[in-house]
Amino acid sequence: MDSAISGEGKMIRTPPRPLNAAVSQPDIYGTPELQESDLKKTVRKRKYTDDTTHSMNDMFSNVLQMFKELKTSQDEQFSKISEEIGSLKTQNEILLKANAEIKSSLTFIAEEQNELKTRVDDLEKREKSSQMYVCELEEQLENVERKIRERSIEINNLTTENNEDMMTAIEKIHKTLKLEYDSRDIRSAYRITTKANRPRPIIIEYTTTQKKITLLRAFKEFNKIEKAEKFNTSTIGVAGVKQNIYINELLTKKARHLHYLARDLIKRSSWKFCWSAKGKIFIRKEEGQPAVELKSEDQIKALENSKGTLD
């Protein structure tokens, strides 16, 4: 706000300028004078701008250099990765080839195994068939031997000096058992050699099977009645030390072995009765129970471990 003095000596104030009124310089076209402070400020401002520009350039250069180095490093890494991938591809191809060879070998081995299995199965079938055939032959041979012996008996523990004494003893056996004796009923009578240190067994072959059966029944009946004094050498009047006489069927080698095992089974188990009939071996647990025919050693082992009967 400016002021002036009027002619009457009063101070006249200039009216206030509106708030939105523009301010104009008195000398619009004149050149404003620059103060030293303004110059310094200008100079300082320009100097700061140059430093910043230089700094920015350095920063960009550094960043660019970093990108270059990063690119170089990445290129090297990519190159190594490419080499490794190439190596892996090569190894993979080798593995694939090896795998194919292994697969081919396994296929060949599997085919050979299948062929061997087929051969083994065929051999097992043949062996089983051969075993069955051998068993059939053994059974046929057993039947033939049993047939040959079906009319014969075996007398053990009877000592005689010669064949004449032996025939006399045989006659006494028949008479003691209250049986008719006719030498013509005997086809042959002879002793066989054994390894045991005792009298050799006497084998008697009758002309008929019935004669054999009759004598065996009479012998068993005698021992059943005379339990205190079973059939012995004194019973038939043979001089010397008294010895029990045993009369049995003439068994085959197989039946004899089964008979031995059966008697041992009787001693060690609940089976109570064991006997032979028509060349075959039978056992029974109790009176009235069915008899079990023994046909093999395996069957006897099974019977020993079983509580029931086994055919």
Decide if 204 contacts 152 (C-beta within 8 A). yes
What was the pLDDT predicted at 69?
A: 87
Q: Per the structure block, which two tokens stand in for 294?
A: 């023994």
Statement: residue 31 has pLDDT above 80:
no
Considering only 30-34, 65-69, 237-241, which range has the smallest mean pLDDT? 30-34
What was the pLDDT predicted at 185?
A: 95
pLDDT one-digit tens code per residue, 132-181: 999 899 999 999 999 999 999 999 999 888 888 999 999 999 999 999 99
What was the pLDDT predicted at 63?
A: 87
* CA distance linking residue 201 with residue 194, whole number of Å: 8
Considering only 31-45, 86-100, 261-275, which range has the smallest mean pLDDT? 31-45
**Residue spans of alpha helices (H) in 150-208:** 163-176
Please calculate the CA angle 28-25-14 and round it to the nearest 5 degrees: 140
pLDDT one-digit tens code per residue, 239-295: 888 999 999 999 999 999 999 999 999 998 889 999 999 999 999 998 889 999 999
Q: How far apart are the first and last CA of the chain?
A: 148
What was the pLDDT predicted at 14?
A: 57
What was the pLDDT predicted at 36?
A: 53
Decide if 284 contacts 267 (C-beta within 8 A). no
What was the pLDDT predicted at 180?
A: 94
Torsion angles phi and psi, residue 206, rounded to 5 = -85, 170
Eight-class DSSP state of 273? E
Decide if 273 contacts 266 (C-beta within 8 A). yes
Statement: residue 9 has pLDDT above 90:
no
Q: What's the predicted TM-score (pTM) here? A: 0.59
Mean pLDDT of 201-216: 95
What was the pLDDT predicted at 39?
A: 47
Eight-class DSSP state of 285? S
Mean pLDDT of 44-48: 48
Give the H or E element holding residue 190.
strand 186-191
* CA distance linking residue 206 with residue 155, whole number of Å: 13
Following DSSP, what letter does each residue of 194-249 receive, concatenated? -SSSSPPPEEEEESSHHHHHHHHHHHHHHHHH-SSS-SBTTTTT--SS--B-EEEE
What was the pLDDT predicted at 310?
A: 42
What was the pLDDT predicted at 251?
A: 94
Statement: residue 22 has pLDDT above 70:
no
Average pLDDT, the chain: 84
pLDDT one-digit tens code per residue, 222-239: 999 988 889 999 999 888
Eight-class DSSP state of 31? P
What was the pLDDT predicted at 55?
A: 82
* Fold adopted by 151-250: Alpha-Beta Plaits (3.30.70)
Domain edges within the chain: 61-149, 151-250, 251-310
